[in-house]
Structure 1
Amino acid sequence: MCGIVGLHLRNPALYPRLGELLGGMLGEMQDRGADSAGIAVYGDPTWSPAGHGCVSLLETGIGVEGLGEAAAAVSGALGGEVAAQLVDDTLQLSAQVTAEELLAATKGVFPQALVAGFGEDLAVLKGVGAPRDLVENWGLAGASGWQGVGHTRMATESAVTPSGCHPYAVGPEQCLVHNGSFSNHATIRRELRAVGVEFDSQNDTEVGARFVAHQLAQGKDIETALKELCATFDGFYTLLVSNRDSFAVVRDAIACKPAVIAETDDWVAMASEYRALAHLPGVENARIWEPEPEVVYAWTR
């Protein structure tokens, strides 16, 4: 049992409240997974400045006193100025280059670090511990932007470590969170490795994220990629997949994992349970429904 949440804001007047609203949603899902949590935030000007490539790193061993040295090392590898900041345990880097260029330079300096996410306008934070505590440590209430996703984890498939936390953000601006389990993930992992896809963990969710990223890299749109996932993966799941411009939800053929979607003129939101949506502004006037099995629900910014 895990908890997933997502919020896609349509009304720019709500952008300053993204972190506050997302943090409240995540906190309501704490009893669905209290061992670890993660978020992806699109558009916060402090964590991911507009027009900058961004990389989120974990397991770097860098503290506040080492930020200057870390920024200088990546700047040297990149050949341009890099800004560095710590958001709890996450080293957040940004530069006025593509995210892929910054990622390549970063990997040269921190080859053993865990890449939590990369892309324009994207910050990904993960941590082990109670979700409400992590929300406070991240200062999430002060974050702004147009879209966010989150996950609270009850580990079943792999160890409780940052590499096992969701979201899995393995392609540029892409994130996936998952409630459920894939029963044939080992077979699909071997097939993806055979075509050159690399993995950071033994988590079954990472296989789903890598599969979707591989489909998108081949030029497929998100709806097609998720339909391919439904045809390929066995198991029980609710998935939320996002990039900087879209937000999509799908459930397996039996749809035994809970999910609810709510939509207003101001926002679209989904969560494992309605209580995570109950505090959203205007929810009393929202259209609310449970997603149908194997139907892809998608919204574009």
Structure 2
Amino acid sequence: MCGIVGLHLRTPDLYPRLGELLTGMLCEMGDRGSDSAGVAVYGDPDWSPPGRGCVSVADLGTGVAEDATQVAAAVGTELGGDVDGVAVGASYVLSAEVDSEALLSAVRAAYPQAIIAGFGSDIAVLKGVGHPRALTDGWGLAGARGWQGVGHTRMATESAVTPAGCHPYAVGPEQCMVHNGSFANHATIRRTLRADGVLFDSENDTEVGARFIAKLLAEGRDVESALKELCAVFDGFYTLLVSNRDSFAVVRDAIACKPAVIAETGDWVAMASEYRALAALPGVDQARIWEPEPEVVYAWQR
């Protein structure tokens, strides 16, 4: 049992409240999974400055904590240019005036064992082990700004409780996926993806789904057709939320046994595993609220 939340803001007047609203939603799902949590925040100008490539690092893989300035300097040496870095809790968010994939290559060169939490323009991904309330406090999430956020609280069932096993899985540029449920045939699909050259950071079944989607998107598919393909290939019980910097999509398996609720107003679209995570959103009393149908892809564009 895990908890999923997502919030897509349509009005700029609410952008300053993204972190506040996302924090309340995520912590409301804390009893659905209290061993780890994570968020993807789109559009915070301090964490992911506009026009810069960004990389989020959940763990350096060195066994020691380093000052964010030192981390940025080490990556800058590999990049051959200036890199800015901020520490957000135990995570690091790095940015530079280069393509995000060039920055990602420099991070991997400087820290070969690092767990990359996410990369791309306008995205910061934070995840860690611990209760969602403690993690969000440590990140200062309530002060974050932006137009979209995705979150997950985890109750581990099939892989280790480590930063590599936390959601979101943000394995493509600006992409993010969170998942409640389990994929029964993930080992078979992982072997197929590895044979195609796809690399993995964990044994988590969610990572298999995220990399499957990322591969299809890289091949030119849109998110709706990619999610329909996932429904055709993956066995199991699941609710998924997939986002990039401009879109937000939800799908459930054919039986739809994992809970989900969507709410929509003119100012925002939100989803969560349970309604109580939506109850404090502004104007929710006027929202259209429904449970997503099995294998129907619900998607919104910015």
In the alignment, does 2:247 pair up with 1:246?
yes
Cα offsets for 1:94-145 (capped at 9, x unmatched) = 0011110100111100110100100100000001111011111110000000
Alignment of 1:1-301 (within 5 A): 1-60=1-60, 61=62, 63=65, 66-301=67-302
For 1:224 and 1:125, the matched residues in 2 are separated by: 28
Cα offsets for 1:236-285 (capped at 9, x unmatched) = 00000000000000000000000000000000000000000000000000
How far is the alpha carbon of 1:80 from its aligned partner?
A: 1.4
* Partner AA of 2:153 in structure 1: T
Cα offsets for 1:67-114 (capped at 9, x unmatched) = 332222211211211001110010110001111010011110011010
For 1:193 and 1:111, the matched residues in 2 are separated by: 19
TM-score with structure 2 length normalisation?
0.98
For 2:92 and 2:158, the matched residues in 1 are separated by: 26
For 2:51 and 2:192, the matched residues in 1 are separated by: 36
For 1:91 and 1:135, the matched residues in 2 are separated by: 15
Query: Structure 1: 5+ residue runs without aligned partners?
Result: none
Give the count of matched residue pairs: 300
CA RMSD of aligned residues (A): 0.8
For 1:246 and 1:83, the matched residues in 2 are separated by: 27
* Partner AA of 1:11 in structure 2: T
* Partner AA of 2:9 in structure 1: L
Q: Is the Cα contact below 8 Å between 2:58 and 2:128 reproduced in 1?
A: no
SS of equivalent residue, structure 2 residue 151: strand
Q: Is the Cα contact below 8 Å between 2:69 and 2:86 reproduced in 1?
A: no
Larger mean CA deviation between 234-243 and 69-78 belongs to: 69-78
SS of equivalent residue, structure 1 residue 156: coil
For 1:276 and 1:110, the matched residues in 2 are separated by: 37
Identity %: 75
Cα offsets for 1:22-51 (capped at 9, x unmatched) = 000001000000110000000001110001
Q: Is the Cα contact below 8 Å between 2:48 and 2:123 reproduced in 1?
A: yes
For 1:289 and 1:68, the matched residues in 2 are separated by: 46
Query: Structure 2: 5+ residue runs without aligned partners?
Result: none
TM-score with structure 1 length normalisation?
0.98
Cα offsets for 1:151-208 (capped at 9, x unmatched) = 0000001011111100000000000000000000000000000100000000000000
